[in-house]
């Protein structure tokens, strides 16, 4: 049986008994739930949860699990003329979502921003023909379910199909990854930032943290690096980790101004 951590949503390698602990939740960037370490399975999750699909713009849908499970992030399917990419991942893979994606042409690959969203990535890969799952090599230690579908990359950027590009931002995790989609936002370009760069409720702004739930700030050098690594790319929109958290326009200015504001507070 492949047990899933209830707090972070990570699926573990097959075992007869639940793991003793979840290393991802024991890490200072995450936490063990108030009721202690708890486990579920994909079959149990399918019994009382479903994935909601939302049209974000042309050739882009998002998926989020309802009621909230784990961290509560959204995933995206980006359509290109040469195949579709699943960006970030959810613990729940339900039949309705699988059929919706299949009707869009299936998946050519999966790419994930950081370990908090690895979830059931192996299940998703298998459901769509064992497509590759791109993870940055720097976060190798956080993979709880090794599989031949996982492709580790170690560069600072990785071009994919359909003009998509993975960018190592670091920060929240050493291998923290951002996705650039040049056709997004009506051709003005879009970034998918997970919470490597976090879109905040005042969606004119973003923020940066080493640990969000434990309020550990990100250092100045790491924040400046994030600003620098996205500068070569053209983009207007920034899709964050959670439903509705999107900088609809002027995303480049939002990141630059937000970094200035953050660093001013951090260094004051």
Q: Print pLDDT tens along the chain (268 aa).
A: 999 999 999 999 999 999 999 999 999 999 999 999 999 999 999 999 999 999 999 999 999 999 999 999 999 999 999 999 999 999 999 999 999 999 999 999 999 999 999 999 999 999 999 999 999 999 999 999 999 999 999 999 999 999 999 999 999 999 999 999 999 999 999 999 999 999 999 999 999 999 999 999 999 999 999 999 999 999 999 999 999 999 999 999 999 999 999 999 998 8
Cα–Cα distance for residue pair 45/223, rounded to 1 Å? 36
CA proximity to 116, closest of 247, 219, 242, 16: 242
CA dist 109 and 121 (Å) reads 11
Q: So where are the chain's domains?
A: 4-267
For 184-203, write each residue's pLDDT tens digit: 999 999 999 999 999 999 99
| CA–CA gap between residue 174 and residue 183 (Å, rounded) | 28
Write the pLDDT tens digit of every residue in 100-144. 999 999 999 999 999 999 999 999 999 999 999 999 999 999 999
Q: How many residues does the chain have?
A: 268
Supply the CATH classification number for the domain 4-267: 3.60.15.10
What is the dihedral angle through the alpha carbons of 26, 200, 208, 229, rounded to the nearest 10 degrees?
Answer: 120
Are the CB atoms for 85 and 79 separated by under 8 Å?
Answer: no
Element containing residue 63 per DSSP (H, E): strand 60-66
Q: Is 176 helix (H, G, I), strand (E, B) or coil?
A: coil
Tell me how far apart the alpha carbons of residues 247 and 251 are, in angstroms, rounded to a whole number: 6
């Amino acid at each position: 049986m492949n047990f899933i951590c209830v707090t972070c949503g990570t699926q573990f390698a097959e075992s007869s008994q639940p793991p003793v602990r979840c290393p991802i939740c024991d890490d200072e960037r995450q936490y063990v739930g108030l009721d202690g370490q708890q486990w579920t399975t994909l079959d149990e999750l399918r019994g009382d949860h479903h994935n909601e699909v939302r049209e974000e713009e042309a050739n882009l849908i998002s998926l989020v699990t309802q009621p909230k499970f784990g961290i509560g992030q959204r995933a995206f399917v980006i359509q290109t003329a040469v195949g579709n990419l699943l960006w970030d991942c959810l613990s729940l893979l339900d039949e309705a979502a699988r059929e919706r994606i299949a009707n869009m042409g299936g998946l050519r690959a999966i790419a994930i921003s950081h370990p908090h969203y690895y979830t059931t990535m192996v299940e998703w890969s298998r459901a769509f023909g064992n497509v590759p799952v791109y993870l940055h090599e720097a976060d190798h230690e956080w993979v709880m379910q090794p599989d031949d579908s996982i492709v580790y990359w170690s560069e600072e950027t990785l071009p994919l199909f359909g003009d998509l590009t993975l960018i190592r931002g670091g920060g929240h995790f050493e291998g923290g990854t951002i996705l650039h989609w040049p056709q997004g936002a009506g051709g003005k370009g879009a970034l998918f930032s997970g919470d490597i760069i976090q879109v905040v409720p005042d969606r004119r702004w973003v923020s940066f943290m080493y640990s969000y739930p434990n309020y550990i700030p990100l250092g100045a050098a790491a924040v400046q690096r994030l600003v620098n690594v996205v500068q070569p790319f053209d983009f207007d929109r920034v899709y964050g980790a959670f439903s509705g958290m999107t900088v609809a326009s002027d995303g480049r200015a939002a990141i630059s101004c937000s970094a200035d504001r953050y660093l001013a507070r951090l260094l004051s």
